[in-house]
Amino acid sequence: MIDGFIPVYDKKKDITRFIPFMLDETLSSSDIVYYDGQLVKEWQNEVRDSLGKDVSIGCRLLMLEEKDFSFCGSSLMLPIRMAYWRRTKGDSFPRYNVLRVLATGAFDKQERLVAVGISQKLEGLKEQFKDAILFGPDENCDISNDERQ
Q: In the predicted model, is pLDDT for residue 4 greater than 90?
A: yes
Single out the residue of 100, 86, 85 nearest to residue 5, CA to CA. 100
Give me the mean pLDDT over the 83-110 stretch. 91
Helix (H) or strand (E) segment spanning residue 113 = strand 113-114
| Helix, strand, or coil (residue 48) | helix
Contact between 57 and 83 (Cβ < 8 Å): no
Mean pLDDT, the chain, whole residue set: 87
Q: In the predicted model, is pLDDT for residue 63 greater than 60?
A: yes
pTM for the whole structure: 0.87
Q: In the predicted model, is pLDDT for residue 77 greater than 90?
A: yes
| Helix, strand, or coil (residue 11) | coil
pLDDT of residue 114: 84
Instruction: Report how far residue 128's alpha carbon sits from residue 16's, in angstroms, rounded to the nearest whole number.
Output: 9
